[in-house]
Amino acid sequence: MKGPADAPVSDAMRATIGRVLDALAEEERIGIVMAIESGSRAWGFHSPDSDYDVRFVYARPVDWHLSLARKRDVIERPISDELDVSGWDLSKALKLSMNANAVLSEWLQSPILYAADAEGLPLLRDFAARAMRRRPVTWHYLSIAFRHLERLDPDKPVPLKRFFYTVRPALALRWMRLNGGAVPPMDMAALREGCDLPPRTAALLDDLTERKRAVREKASAGPVDRALLDLVGTEMGAARAWLAAAGPDRPDPALWAEADTLYRRLVRKVGE
């Protein structure tokens, strides 16, 4: 059984992140719709020295929008080597959601929640879930798997972090293939539950996951077992075949009106 020391985020770090978010909200005059942990700590395969990737969606008050000046729709704060904080304006998040952005979908599923607007977060989750479409999500995970697989040499020691960045999108592709949905789980354990992996492949992943949790971020795994590389290659091939056969996949125009309504509702909540 895991104890407090094994938790992805300690109570002390949660308190630190909470203070950073409170200060940021005051400094920028924003309302935080949600703030979550992204990356390996939320995915379920962090190392003891993994950094903290805090991501958030925010809304600005009405008055901020009443200007002809072009303004940024992101906030970025590299707090330290250990803590990175960045967020998207609600308008950016909703536009990306209309394009079935898989990154936002993952944020909305994160098991590590630092802050949430009790009204806004459920509304955003519901909207994003209905806006997701399998085709763009498949392209997203296929591209990530391809990019990281290119950097792997199967005959040389492989950095554990890079290996997991390769196998996780392959598992997301497998989950979509087997379940037919467009929103694969973010958490590695939940993702694997829907992947029906062969026992040996599952055991290999278990072993590597436990090793990564015990060693530093830059540790290597040694040469990766061929069964795991075959899993990645098989799912990438299946995804390409599905994309070639699938028909057009466009967003529902009616969702734009819903997005506008949600945007106005949450912006007005922040105030004038």
**What is the predicted pLDDT for the residue at 272?**
54
Cα angle 179, 184, 185; round to 5: 120
Q: Is 105 exposed, middle or buried (0-12, 13-18, 19+ CB in 10 A)?
A: buried
CA distances from 159 to 105, 109, 165, 212, 224 (A): 27, 27, 10, 10, 10
Fold of 4-131+251-270: Beta Polymerase; domain 2 (3.30.460)
pLDDT of residue 6: 54
**106, 190 Cβ separation under 8 angstroms:** no
pLDDT digit string (tens) for the chain, length 272 residues: 344 445 799 999 999 999 999 999 999 999 999 999 998 899 988 888 889 999 999 999 999 988 888 889 999 987 777 899 999 999 999 999 999 999 999 999 999 999 999 999 999 999 999 999 999 999 999 999 999 988 877 777 788 888 888 999 999 999 999 999 999 999 999 999 999 999 999 999 998 888 888 877 777 777 778 899 999 999 999 999 999 999 888 888 999 999 999 999 999 988 75
Which pTM does this prediction carry?
A: 0.90
Q: Is 97:127 a contact under the CB 8 Å cutoff? A: yes
3-state secondary structure of 152: coil
Question: Structural domain boundaries of the chain?
Answer: 4-131+251-270, 134-245
Residue 202 has a pLDDT of: 95
Residue with tokens 């104890």: 3
Phi, psi of 241 (to 5 degrees): -65, -40
